[in-house]
Structure 1
Amino acid sequence: MEQRSIHRDHGDLHFFSNEESSSSNIPSNVYEYFQLVEDGKFPFFNNTQVHVSAMKNSAGETLLNAAARLGHHEIVERLVGDIDVEETDYDGWTALLNASHHGFADIVRTLLNAGASIENPDLMGWTSLMWACYKNRPEVVDVLIEFKAHVNIVGEEDGLTPLIIASGRGFVELVPKLLEAGAQVNTSDKFGSTALIWAARKGHLQIVQYLLNSGAELDAVGMQASSALMLATRGNYIPVVEALLAREPNVNIVDYNGLSALGIAAREGYTEIAASLLQSGAFVNTVDRFGNSILANAVRSGNINLVRMLLERHADVNAKDSEGRTPLHLAIDKNYSDIVLALLEKKPNLELKNRDGDTALLRAIKNRDVQVSQLLVSMGAKLSTTDNAGDNALHLALRARSRRLTQILLVNPSDSKLLYRPNKLGETPYSIDQESPQPILPTIFGPFGTEVDLKSLLGFDSYGDVIADVVCEPNLSLPLTIGLYAKWGSGKSILLSRIRNSMKSFSR
C-alpha cells in the first residue's frame, strides 16, 4: 500500500499555462486534464463542455485526489469547491488520505477546513493519522491532532494503532506527540503486542523509555507469548534489555516454546545479556517444550564463556533433552573440545545414554574424535557399555578402521577381553577386524600368521583377564576352585601370574 500507481492511456498532449488559457486551447480529453495536474498546471474549464466533478482517471481518482497526492496546493485550493472532498479512488483513498500519506501538511489543513472527514479510512481500515504515522509525517500529525483526530483508532484488520505504528517503526518525534494527545500506551494489536513490545523488538531505546515513563506494562506478552524483554534479548539490544531490567520485570516468564529470556540469550550465545538476566534472578535450570535445558542451548551456541557462566550458577550438567542427549553429548557432536573440558570439570555422569544408546565415549568414537575419546577413557568412561545395537567401544573403533582409537581403548590389558564380546548380530570386535583385508590388531600386537599365533600373543592377557573377571564376581561363593588344562611347556605359570595381576587391578 506504500506504492500507488495510476494507469493512463497514451496519446499526444497539448499543454498550456494559466496565462495562455482561452476557449480555443481547452484540453480535448480527460487524460489531458490529469496530465496538466500531474505537471502542476491548473486546467481551465469551459463549463458548457466539462463537468470537473465527474472526471476520473483509470485508477478512479478525481482531479482533486490527484492534486492532493502530488502536493499541488494551489490546484487543490482551486478545485476544493468544485469536487466532493470525500470522493475516493478504487482503493478507497480520499484526497485527505493522499495528502497525509505523502506529507503535505498545508493541503491536509485546506481539506480539513473544507470539511473533509478526518476519520475516513481506506479499504484496509487505516485513517489519515495512521498513514501519517506510518510514513513519519510529524507536521501532518500535528495538523491532524489539532483537528481532533482519534489518536486511539484501531486498524480493522491488524489491530494497529497510531502509537503502535510509530513505536514499531522507530519514529521518535511522533511517539511523544501521540502520548501527549492521549494515546493509550497499553493498547495491543490483534496478536496482543503493545507499543512497548514493538519498540523493544526493533531496539528503539528512546521510544522504549518514553513508553515506560508513560506507564507501559512491562510483562505484557504478544505474538507467540513473547514479552518486550524476550524480544529485546532476541535482537541482542543490550541497552533496551538494561532499560527493561531496571524496571524489574518478571525475567522467568516463557513464550509458547517454553523459552525464557535467559533461554533465548543462551541459544543465541549472548553472554552480556545472559549475565544481566542472571543478576536479575533468572532461573538457570528451566527447560523448553522440546526438553532443551538452558545449558544445552548455550552448548549449541558454542560460546565457552557463556557455558562457564551457567556452570558456575550450578546449571545441571546431566540434564537430558527430548532425544536423551546431555550437554556433553552435544558438545562432542559439535566438536567443541573446550566446552567438553569445561563440562568434564563438573564431573558429569559419563554413562548416561541418548536414545540410540550412546554414552559420551561411544559418541566420541563414532565421531572419530581421538582427543576426546582418550580424555574420556582417562576419566573412567566404561569401554564395556554398549549402544542399542550391542556394540561396545571396540566394535566401533575397529569398524571405523581406526588404529589410534583401538590403541587408546586397549591401553589397559584388562579391556582386551572385550575383543571377544559379541553384539546383537553375533559380531565380536575381533571378528570385525579379521574380516578386513588389512586387520588392525596385528599392527598393535605384532605380526601373526594364524589364529593360534594371535592367541599366543593375546591369549595370556585376554584369557587371563576373562578368568580374573569371573573370579572377581562379587556374587560368587567361596571357596572357588578353577582348573587350568595346559600342555607341558605351555606357559601355565605365566598365565597364573597374569591372572593374579589382573585380579589386583579389578579389586582396585
Structure 2
Amino acid sequence: MAVKRGYTDVVTMLLEAKASVQEANCDGWTPLHVATCHGYTLIVRRLLDAGADVDATTTAGDTALHVAARYGHDSIIEMLLACGASTYMYNHTGKTALALVKANTQGALLLEADMVALATEDAHNQQRHDQLVCAARNGDVRETAKLLDAGVCPDDATSSTTALHWAAAKGHAPIVEMLLEAGADTDPVQATDLWTPLMLAAAHGHLAVVESLLRRYASIFLTDAEGNTALLIAATHGATACVERLLQAQADVSATNDAGDTALHVASRGGHSDVVRVLLAAHAPLHAINHAKETALVLAPSHSDVEAILAPLVQSHVGHLIEAVETGDAASVQAYLQAGLPVDLRNKAGRTLLLLAIEKGQTAIVDVLVAAKAPVNQRATDGTSPLSLAAGLGEYRVAETLLQAGADPNTTHREGRALLLVAASDGHEALVQLLMSTAPRPCG
C-alpha cells in the first residue's frame, strides 16, 4: 500500500524493518512492479538497493522493465538496465520490453543501446573463446594462459568440441592441466560421435593426458555413439600404455559395445598383440562372443602374433573342460561354461560334452550341461545320440533328464534300431516303460 500511494518515507521505514521486497500479489506484481508502474523513481531505487529481483515476472510474464517500457518511464528504464535487467525476456504475449516502448523515445534508445552492447559483448566473448580453442589446438601454452587469466571460460563454445577436446586429442598435456585448473568440464561430449577428451587421448595414446584426466575423475564409464568406452577405444587403436592405465583405474575389461565386442575382440581384430597380453592379464573374457557369434580368436588375423597367443589358451581351456566333464568336476565345468566356452563343443573324436558325460557315467555333469542348454539331440560324428547312448547303457535317470529337456523319444540307435528295441533287448525294463510312456507306439 505504501508503494502504491508513493509514500517514500514509509517505504524506507518498512525496508529498514526488513519488510519483504519480493512478496507478490495474486497477479504476481511485486512492489518493484507497482513502483515502476506509477513512475516512483525514488521508491524503485530504494527497492533495488534492498535487493528486489529486477527480473521477477508477473503472471502475465512482465518484468519491471516491461512495465517501465509500456508506461514510458525512461529514467526507471535506465535504472533497471543499470541493475542488470534483461532486455531479452519475453512476456506471455511474446513481447520484449523494446517491443512495448514507443519508438524514437529515450527509453527505446536506452533499450536498443543495451541490446547492442550485449550482442557486442557476446561476440567479443565468442571471439576470445575461439582464440582459446585455437591456442589449445596449436599447443600455444603462453596464449592459453593469457586468455584464461583474462577470464575466458574454458567451456564456452558454439561447437561441442571444446578447447579440452583439442588439447587432449593433440596430446598437449600442459594445456590440458591449465584448462582443468581453470575449471574445465572433464567430460564434455562431442555432438556427433559422443567422444569425450578421455576417449580422444586414449585413441591417440596420449598417456600423460589420460593421467591428468583420470586424476580429475574423468568418467571411464561413458560410451560413444557406438557404445565404446575409453578402454575399448584405446584397445582398438593399440594404445597399450593407455589400456594399462585405464585398467588400473578400474575400467570394466568385460564391457561390450553395441556390436557386442569386448576390448579383447577389438584388440584381436586389430592385431594388437601387446594389448591382448595386457587384457588377458586383467582376466578379459577369452571366450566371449559378440553379436556376430565371433570370439577374439576368430577375429585374430591368420598366422599373427595374436593368434599365436590366443589359440593355445583356447585349446588349453577346451582340454581342461573336456577333462572336467570326464572326471565329474562340476565346479570346473560350470566355471568354463560361464567363461564362455560353448556347451556344444566336440572333442577330436567328434563326441559332444553331453555324450562324454553320459559315456563316463557322470550324471551330475549331465545335469549341469542340460541346465546350460546343451543340445540334447546333437549326435556324434558316428551317429550316436545322447538318448540312444543312455538307452544302450541303461541309464534311466539320464534318459529321463534328456526326455524332459526335449530329447526325441523316436530317435534311433546309430545302426537304425529303435531305442525301445535296444532297451528291451538289453533287459532295461524301467527304461522301456519310460520310453513307451513318453512316446507310445507299436513295437515292430
TM-score range, shorter chain: 0.3 to 0.5
Higher relative contact order (CA 8 A, sep 6+): 2
**TM-score normalised to the size of structure 1?**
0.40
